[in-house]
Amino acid sequence: MTPPAPAAARDRLRIAIQKSGRLSEPARALLSSCGLGWRESRDRLFCYGESAPVDLLLVRDDDIPGLIADGVCDLGIVGRNVLLEQAGEREAAGRPPASRELRALGFGGCRLALAVPEDWEWRGPEQLQGKRIATSYPALLQRWLAETGVQAQIVVLAGSVEIAPRLGQADLVCDLVSSGATLAANHLKPVQTVLESEAVLAGPVAPFTGPRAELAEMLLRRLDGMLKIRHSRLLMFQAARERVPVLLQLLPDAEPPTVWQVDGGDCLALQALCHGDVSWQRLEELKRAGARGLMVLPVERLLA
């Protein structure tokens, strides 16, 4: 396979995602749902786009912001915590921003949180004055400390942050929390959220130009459509004209419905895209309000 061309010569869009990890499969599934398909290289590090001129780089999560900054790739799917931590490092070094969040993607949710020993009685951030806090996210923690006016010592660790208090390295930790099981196993409890994180689509600060601008716009359109319908359903029903205002009040999460007359009479047929849960209970409420022939359909694609 021909090696990737330098950024300046490229007319194909290049997206970096995790090679392995909790964001890898959801990222590929989301991009595939946008109509993208690839042929993998033998080393499984580069995927050549076959359905569109959009290629994939399979890399470490921590490398993605830097690859965007260096122009090696155009876009990346990465945790917000990683993106903002590296942005904070650039700012601290006096370097200009190089990447930004373009879209929140709705998966890989977690939070960066302060966790203290279980026997602590948490009273608020002022309790942290003069304490030692172990973390792998010093830039994000430093920003939070500055915003809250707390003077504390940051102990930077690359891994095994949760064990730091037991080893006497720190008084508490600032780490990613999903289920909280790892903290509990180390007799810690989360008490303060520093950052809500999830997978995001990241891109450069400067806008794209040339063919890659058109490809990026196409991808964003498709992504917006897929994200919008992820939990959406198409609801179809019939009702007497005078019952329609009451029925629409029961659909606050729906797009303006399409309405047409049935057989020239007073009966109307409606279809509405609902962005919330269309449960059996909701259907029963609509039926009691005058809807009939209720039908709920999945939505595979939406292009606004």
Alpha-carbon distance of 175 to 160, in angstroms, equals 10
Radius of gyration in angstroms for the set of CA atoms belonging to the chain, rounded to a whole number: 25
Domain assignment present for residue 303? The answer is no
Q: State which of 188, 211, 229 marks the end of a domain.
A: 229
Q: What is the pLDDT of residue 9?
A: 53
Domain assignment present for residue 304? The answer is no
Domain match, 124 and 15 both: no
Number of domains in the chain: 3
Domain match, 139 and 89 both: no
Which residue range(s) make up the domain with 38?
7-108+199-229
Domain match, 149 and 242 both: no
**CB within 8 Å of 198: residues ≥ 6 apart:** 79, 80, 104, 105, 106, 107, 108, 109, 110
Low-confidence ranges of the chain (pLDDT < 50): 1-8
Domain match, 168 and 123 both: yes
Closest-CA residue to 238 (of 207, 263, 274): 263
Alpha-carbon distance of 269 to 236, in angstroms, equals 7
Domain assignment present for residue 274? The answer is yes
Q: What is the pLDDT of residue 83?
A: 97
Alpha-carbon distance of 110 to 258, in angstroms, equals 38
Planar angle of CA 170, 175, 177, nearest 5 degrees = 135
Domain match, 97 and 29 both: yes
Domain match, 243 and 259 both: yes
Domain match, 87 and 116 both: no
Q: Read off the CATH number of the domain in which 266 is found.
A: 3.30.70.120
Domain match, 250 and 268 both: yes
Domain match, 104 and 203 both: yes
Domain assignment present for residue 172? The answer is yes
SS3 content of the chain, % helix, strand, coil (to 5): 35, 30, 35
Domain match, 205 and 175 both: no
Domain assignment present for residue 188? The answer is yes
**Per-position b or e across 275-288, b if 16+ CB within 10 A of its CB:** beebeeebbeebee
Domain match, 161 and 252 both: no
Alpha-carbon distance of 38 to 180, in angstroms, equals 36
Q: Read off the CATH number of the domain in which 159 is found.
A: 3.40.190.10
Q: State which of 197, 215, 245 marks the end of a domain.
A: 197
Domain assignment present for residue 1? The answer is no
Q: Which amino acid is at 107?
A: F
